[in-house]
Structure 1
């Protein structure tokens, strides 16, 4: 799955982009080791209401990452039941600006979830949601098809139109860093290598 990002970390992608693609650091993996990578299917929900997520699971294409704006609300918008439904539909993960629950069960299922908080507060089911339009998650506007990547360090959203250029710059950055690490192990120092010696 991470082949879509050529195996690059979120830190490398963020630095290679040259503009703000990094989401708020408050959006974290629900369970240790969770990794997210796939095209966004966007969901505008409402805080404390998870009906939109039920609809999104049925509408999103296989391979998609659900990207949901729930206003950062501390409610358990997502849990084990929706995860099983999402896996059955072939979805690859969830990024939600809001709360989720059932962390142990989601880890056991291996379903990657990145959220603003973990909450057991229940939800209503009134707002059907708005789908496949721009949403703001973690301070970044994400559009349908943007490449969403998440790892232990955070989450980035690469605009669809710029994915290949960012990945090419990331490839070059990784190659350069490997050269630098080799030189450091040979006794060179970072001040000289980066031209910071004054």
Structure 2
């Protein structure tokens, strides 16, 4: 399975809270189609708004299993569509996270390729700028480096620093286990106010 065991099945919200870091992208970055889920190490692409040549060059360079993470400046152009999706799938790329516009939503959904973008747009693009690859990019207000773990779902997207991923995943495991216990107690009739007051008191003692 790998990719940190597909982020151990945790949601973007759980990973964001467990991290204790500013890893959550802007809520304006949304899945192109309902049910899309993104999980994989980032391969970063610096492009130019209204120009998609960088994406064409990124596909043959990106390692199989990686997520293309592209900064297109939020531009409202159709930088990505069905043809690039088919090319990315042939390369076994895990998905696309783009701060910019994309199109061909129905075709992309039919192919089952996860895309998270700032907007949908049908304006065509130029092919002039070859792009810069592997350096830090800013997507949804968060700086992403190649190798960072990207997880996206219906709630949003997080980018976890590669150096801190295991710690965050361990904390997410513990958080989920704790929340399962809380839900059990709620189903048994306990007040959520009492449960969370007890939790905050315990955390205050253990973190001194």
Q: CA deviation at 1:4?
A: 2.6
Aligned pair 1:24/2:52, yes or no? no
Secondary structure of 2:50 counterpart: coil
Secondary structure of 1:105 counterpart: helix
Correspondent of 2:52 among 44, 50, 53: 50
Correspondent of 1:95 among 91, 94, 97: 97
Match of 1:62 in 2: 64
Match of 1:11 in 2: 13
Partner Cα separation in structure 2 for residue 189 and residue 56 of structure 1: 52
Secondary structure of 2:72 counterpart: strand
Structure (1/2) with the larger helix percentage: 2
Match of 1:166 in 2: 168
Partner Cα separation in structure 2 for residue 190 and residue 27 of structure 1: 32
Match of 1:130 in 2: 132
Q: Runs of at least 4 residues of structure 1 off by over 6 A?
A: none
What TM-score do the two structures reach when normalised by structure 1? Answer: 0.97
Match of 2:204 in 1: none
Aligned pair 1:104/2:106, yes or no? yes
Match of 1:82 in 2: 84
Secondary structure of 1:133 counterpart: coil
Partner Cα separation in structure 2 for residue 181 and residue 189 of structure 1: 11
Q: CA deviation at 1:19?
A: 1.1
Secondary structure of 2:108 counterpart: helix
What TM-score do the two structures reach when normalised by structure 2? Answer: 0.93
Equivalent pairs, count: 196
Partner Cα separation in structure 2 for residue 70 and residue 80 of structure 1: 18
Instruction: Report Cα offsets for 1:91-149 as digits up to 9, x if no partner.
Output: 01000000000000000000000000000000000000000010000000000000000
